[in-house]
Structure 1
Amino acid sequence: MNTSQHPPISKKAFEALASKRSSHSVSIYVPMYKTGKEQNEHLAQANLRRCINEAHSDLVKYALDEEEINNYLKPITDLISEVDLWRNPADGLAVFLNKDGLNYYLLPIAFESRTYVADHFYLKPLLPMYHNDGVYYLLELSGDYVKLYKCSRYSCKELSIEDIAPDQLEKAVGFDYKSKMLQFRSGQATHRAGSFHGHGEGKDDRYEEMIVFFRAIDKGINQLISDKKAPLVLACSAPLHSIYKEANSYPNLFEKYLGGDPEFRDKKEMHQQSWELMKEHFQEIEKSKLNLFTELYHTSKISYTPSEIIPAALKGKIDTLFVRKGPDLFGLYNKENDTVRFDESKKLTNVSLLNFAAMHTFMQKGKVYELEPNDMPVQEQPLSAIFRY
Structure 2
Amino acid sequence: MINFLAHTFTKKVFEQLAAIRNQHCVSIYLPMYKKGKEQNEGLGQSNLKSCLKKVHAVLVEYGYHETKINSYLEPIRNLIFDLSFWRNPSEGLAIFLDKDLGFRYYKLPFPFDIKTYVADHFYLIPLLPLFHNNGIYYLLELSRDYVKLYKGSRNNFRELQINKIIPKQLEAVVGYDFEQKMLQNRTGHMMYPAGSFHGQGEGKEDQKKELVSFFRQINQGVTEMLSSKKAPLILACTDELYPIYKKINSHHNLWDTHLSGDPEFKGTNELHKESWGLVQYYFETTKRVKLANFIAKIHTSKTSCRPSEIFPAAVKGKIDTLFVQQKEDVFGTYNSAKGCLIIDSRKEMRNISLLNMAAIYTFLQGGNVYFLEAEEMPVKNIPMNALFRF
TM range (shorter): 0.7 to 0.9
Whether the aligned pair in 1 keeps the contact of 2:79 and 2:85 (CA below 8 Å) is yes
Provide, for residues 226-257 of structure 1, a one-character-per-residue CA deviation record: whole Å limited to 9, x for no partner.
Answer: 32332111111111111111112222212222
Report what 1:229 is aligned to.
230
Residue type of the alignment partner of 2:20: K
User: Which piece of structure 1 moves more, 341-350 or 57-66?
Assistant: 341-350
User: Which piece of structure 1 moves more, 166-175 or 373-382?
Assistant: 166-175
Matches within 5 A, 1:1-389: 7-35=7-35, 38-99=38-99, 100-169=101-170, 177=178, 202-263=203-264, 265-389=266-390
Percent of aligned pairs sharing the same letter: 53
Residue type of the alignment partner of 1:79: L
Q: Matched residue of 2:45: which SS? A: helix
Residue type of the alignment partner of 1:373: A
Q: How big is the shift at 1:166?
A: 3.4
Q: How big is the shift at 1:288?
A: 3.6
- Relative to structure 1, the CA distance from residue 146 to residue 106 in structure 2 (aligned partners, 3 Å threshold; closer, same or farther) is same
Q: Distance in 2 between matches of 1:284 and 1:352?
A: 29
Q: Distance in 2 between matches of 1:208 and 1:388?
A: 53
Q: Distance in 1 between matches of 2:51 and 2:287?
A: 33
Whether the aligned pair in 1 keeps the contact of 2:7 and 2:106 (CA below 8 Å) is no
Q: How big is the shift at 1:137?
A: 0.6
Provide, for residues 133-180 of structure 1, a one-character-per-residue CA deviation record: whole Å limited to 9, x for no partner.
Answer: 321111111234222111112222222334444334455567965577
Q: Distance in 2 between matches of 1:93 and 1:133?
A: 19
Q: Distance in 2 between matches of 1:182 and 1:337?
A: 79
The alignment covers a number of residue pairs equal to 371
Provide, for residues 83-136 of structure 1, a one-character-per-residue CA deviation record: whole Å limited to 9, x for no partner.
Answer: 222333333222111112211223233222211101111111122233333211
Residue type of the alignment partner of 1:218: N
Residue type of the alignment partner of 1:151: G
Q: Distance in 2 between matches of 1:374 and 1:271?
A: 30
Q: How big is the shift at 1:338?
A: 4.1
Q: How big is the shift at 1:23?
A: 1.0
Residue type of the alignment partner of 1:98: D
Provide, for residues 170-218 of structure 1, a one-character-per-residue CA deviation record: whole Å limited to 9, x for no partner.
Answer: 55567965577679989xxxxxxxxxxxxx9844444344334333333
Q: How big is the shift at 1:300?
A: 4.1
Q: Matched residue of 2:69: which SS? A: helix
Q: Matched residue of 2:371: which SS? A: strand
Report what 1:194 is aligned to.
none
Q: Distance in 2 between matches of 1:72 and 1:273?
A: 45
Whether the aligned pair in 2 keeps the contact of 1:92 and 1:109 (CA below 8 Å) is yes
Q: Distance in 2 between matches of 1:346 and 1:177?
A: 69
Whether the aligned pair in 1 keeps the contact of 2:139 and 2:149 (CA below 8 Å) is yes
Whether the aligned pair in 2 keeps the contact of 1:94 and 1:104 (CA below 8 Å) is yes
Q: Matched residue of 2:260: which SS? A: coil
User: Which piece of structure 1 moves more, 310-319 or 19-28?
Assistant: 310-319
Give ranges in structure 1 of 5+ residues lacking alignment: 1-5, 187-199
Q: Distance in 2 between matches of 1:122 and 1:285?
A: 26
Q: How big is the shift at 1:364?
A: 2.9
Q: How big is the shift at 1:72?
A: 0.9
- Relative to structure 1, the CA distance from residue 45 to residue 208 in structure 2 (aligned partners, 3 Å threshold; closer, same or farther) is same
- Relative to structure 1, the CA distance from residue 216 to residue 306 in structure 2 (aligned partners, 3 Å threshold; closer, same or farther) is farther
Residue type of the alignment partner of 1:269: E
Give ranges in structure 2 of 5+ residues lacking alignment: 1-5, 188-200
Q: Matched residue of 1:97: which SS? A: strand
Provide, for residues 57-95 of structure 1, a one-character-per-residue CA deviation record: whole Å limited to 9, x for no partner.
Answer: 211232211111111112112222222223333332221
- Relative to structure 1, the CA distance from residue 182 to residue 305 in structure 2 (aligned partners, 3 Å threshold; closer, same or farther) is farther
- Relative to structure 1, the CA distance from residue 19 to residue 238 in structure 2 (aligned partners, 3 Å threshold; closer, same or farther) is same
User: Which piece of structure 1 moves more, 249-258 or 85-94?
Assistant: 85-94
Q: Distance in 2 between matches of 1:222 and 1:337?
A: 53
Whether the aligned pair in 1 keeps the contact of 2:135 and 2:154 (CA below 8 Å) is yes
Q: Matched residue of 1:254: which SS? A: coil
